[in-house]
């Protein structure tokens, strides 16, 4: 499988190189040159497979030529073996023909484990084969950091540095990062905000001299392997609800457009999906595009669903590429005008094309709490605020009551106690067994000033399993 850039000017790469690449050299994102397509009979024959075996069938075409089948199978069995629920992504019924797919039974209780558990293992596999080491430097406002650390903690060939804003992530989120020890794991609390952290990561990619030749790898949601891993659970849910003979709809709590883009790909690979609902919080750039063809940057709002607090949705470029007939020059032009003027619209027929599949809703904090309380009252299910936004959007945007609607349950409610308290459902939140002593565990973290040079010096001092690069 070959991968090409959405801006048309970077060389095509194979899977192995895309895994290590991050952004393409022309500033674009990598996508498969040709998407695999499965027949209905083929998809139907996968009903009842264990999750890791389904994952093998769905993802195999993407890694062909880079990872032999037997090795890939083993990696997938290990990856999904660490989940605490045997069904990996169980469905729970909320209402008539309405389901939540629980994607929070991984080590860090959010759906990001599906991709980052796999990414860590894939990186280690490829690096071992090449006899190379890499350094990961990532910024987090919460969920990504812990999932990336959990995913990389056993990697022989990866040193991971995660920057979070000092005193500005929740205690559960901080402890999920700082209580994992290893000589290749480094938590850095920056005396600044999340944007400061992200700027330092960007600056480090732009000037990598401090790494003394060691390769720097991205773990944010633009990494193709993360998208690829997320395609699988759309097939998994549909197969349980009568697919592919019957079509299914999905509602996806969305920030960077990564998770929902995986659903779009599942559909293009042959899975009958009727409708995809883009569910955003007050940071609603995607909703403004879907409802009014305006992709315009606005200021950032802090919400009760912080994992969707974004101003720009980085993976949206991948959808735009398809909407423009895969014309890289057109995308480069759009992105230029976005950078200069802060916004764009697309031609009417392209927007209409997108609207055949996508609907959207923006949900504010008050409505989020209202939905948590409503669902708890109706079914006894306690939702996290991100999932609640998905439910709200599903209920308002649903096109057909005859078609099953699956809401992606992106996090466990215990990660976001503030929203649950505000919703006033009066149910005590308990950490799952594997995290029950989280508040007693020892923490390890280095506090550094908001200063790029200090961070880079720290990385080069510790980037080789705690020793200097």
Ligand X SMILES: *Cc1c(COP(=O)(O)O)cnc(C)c1O
Kindly list the residues in this chain that would bind ligand X in the complex (CB under 6 A): 110, 112, 143, 221, 253-259, 307-308, 386, 410-411
Other Cβ atoms less than 10 A from the Cβ of 68: the count is 11
- Tell me how far the alpha carbon of residue 225 is from its chain's centroid: 10
For residue 184, CA distances in Å to 154, 156, 463 come to: 9, 8, 8
Q: Could you tell me the smallest distance in angstroms from the CB atom of residue 260 to ligand X?
A: 6
Query: What does DSSP say about strands 248-253 and 215-217: parallel, antiparallel, or unpaired?
Result: unpaired
Distance CA 266, CA 36 (A): 10
**What is the DSSP code (8-state) at residue 298?**
-
255 versus 463: smaller Cβ distance to ligand X: 255
136 versus 448: smaller Cβ distance to ligand X: 136
- Cis ω before 366 (30° cut-off from 0): no
- Position with the least CB separation from ligand X: 258
53 versus 298: smaller Cβ distance to ligand X: 298
Q: Could you tell me the smallest distance in angstroms from the CB atom of residue 220 to ligand X?
A: 9
386 versus 395: smaller Cβ distance to ligand X: 386
Distance CA 223, CA 134 (A): 15
Q: Could you tell me the smallest distance in angstroms from the CB atom of residue 55 to ligand X?
A: 18
Distance CA 336, CA 309 (A): 23
83 versus 257: smaller Cβ distance to ligand X: 257
Tokens of 428: 């005590």
In this structure, are residues 454 and 191 in contact, taking their beta carbons and an 8 Å threshold? no
Q: Could you tell me the smallest distance in angstroms from the CB atom of residue 186 to ligand X?
A: 22
For residue 45, CA distances in Å to 13, 58, 191, 386 come to: 32, 12, 53, 33
Distance CA 316, CA 288 (A): 13
In this structure, are residues 261 and 318 in contact, taking their beta carbons and an 8 Å threshold? yes
Other Cβ atoms less than 10 A from the Cβ of 279: the count is 32
Residue among 112, 129, 415, 427 flagged as catalytic: 112
- Tell me how far the alpha carbon of residue 162 is from its chain's centroid: 16
Q: Could you tell me the smallest distance in angstroms from the CB atom of residue 143 to ligand X?
A: 4
190 versus 278: smaller Cβ distance to ligand X: 278
* Residue 297 is a catalytic residue: no
SS3 state of residue 16? helix
Q: Could you tell me the smallest distance in angstroms from the CB atom of residue 108 to ligand X?
A: 9
Q: Which of 148, 143, 197 is nearest to 170 (CA)?
A: 143
Residue numbers annotated as active site: 112
């Amino acid at each position: 499988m070959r991968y090409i850039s959405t801006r048309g000017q970077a060389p095509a790469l194979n899977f192995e190189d895309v895994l290590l690449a991050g952004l393409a050299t022309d500033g674009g994102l990598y996508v498969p040159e040709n998407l695999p397509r499965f027949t209905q009979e083929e998809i139907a024959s996968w009903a009842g497979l264990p999750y890791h075996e389904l994952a093998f069938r769905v993802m195999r075409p993407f890694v062909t030529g880079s990872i032999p089948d037997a090795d890939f199978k083993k990696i997938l069995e290990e990856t999904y073996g660490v989940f605490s629920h045997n069904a990996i992504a169980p469905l729970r019924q909320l209402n008539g023909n309405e389901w939540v797919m629980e994607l929070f039974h991984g080590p860090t209780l959010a759906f990001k484990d599906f991709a980052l558990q796999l990414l860590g293992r894939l990186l280690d596999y490829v690096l071992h084969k090449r006899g190379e080491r890499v350094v990961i430097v990532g910024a987090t406002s919460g969920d990504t950091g812990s999932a990336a650390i959990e995913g990389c903690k056993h990697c022989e060939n990866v040193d991971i540095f995660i920057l979070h804003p000092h005193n500005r992530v929740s205690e559960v989120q901080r402890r999920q990062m700082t209580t994992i020890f290893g000589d290749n794991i480094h938590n850095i609390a920056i005396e600044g905000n999340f944007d400061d952290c992200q700027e330092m990561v960007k600056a480090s990619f732009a000037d990598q001299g401090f790494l003394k030749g060691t390769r720097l790898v991205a773990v944010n949601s633009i990494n193709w392997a993360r998208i690829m891993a997320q395609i699988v659970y759309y097939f998994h849910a549909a197969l349980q609800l009568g697919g592919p003979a019957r079509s299914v709809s999905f509602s996806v709590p969305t920030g960077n457009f990564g998770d929902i883009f995986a659903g779009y790909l599942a559909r293009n690979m042959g899975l009958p999906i009727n409708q995809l609902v883009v569910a955003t919080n007050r940071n609603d750039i995607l909703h403004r595009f879907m409802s009014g063809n305006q992709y315009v940057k606005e200021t950032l709002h802090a919400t009760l669903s912080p994992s969707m607090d974004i101003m720009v949705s980085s993976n949206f470029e991948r959808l735009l590429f398809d909407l423009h007939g895969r014309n890289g020059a057109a995308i480069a032009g759009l992105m230029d005008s976005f950078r200069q003027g802060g916004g764009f619209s697309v031609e009417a027929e392209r927007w209409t094309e997108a609207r055949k599949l996508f609907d959207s809703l923006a949900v504010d904090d008050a409505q989020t709490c209202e939905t948590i309380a409503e669902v708890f009252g109706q079914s006894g299910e306690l939702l996290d605020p991100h999932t609640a936004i998905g439910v709200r959007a599903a209920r308002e945007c649903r096109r057909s009551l005859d078609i099953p609607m699956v809401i992606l349950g992106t996090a466990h409610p215990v990660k976001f106690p503030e929203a649950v308290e505000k919703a006033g459902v009066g149910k005590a939140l308990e950490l799952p067994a594997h995290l029950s002593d989280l508040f007693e565990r020892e923490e390890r973290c280095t506090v550094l000033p908001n200063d790029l040079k200090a961070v880079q010096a720290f990385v080069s001092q510790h980037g080789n399993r705690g020793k200097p690069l």
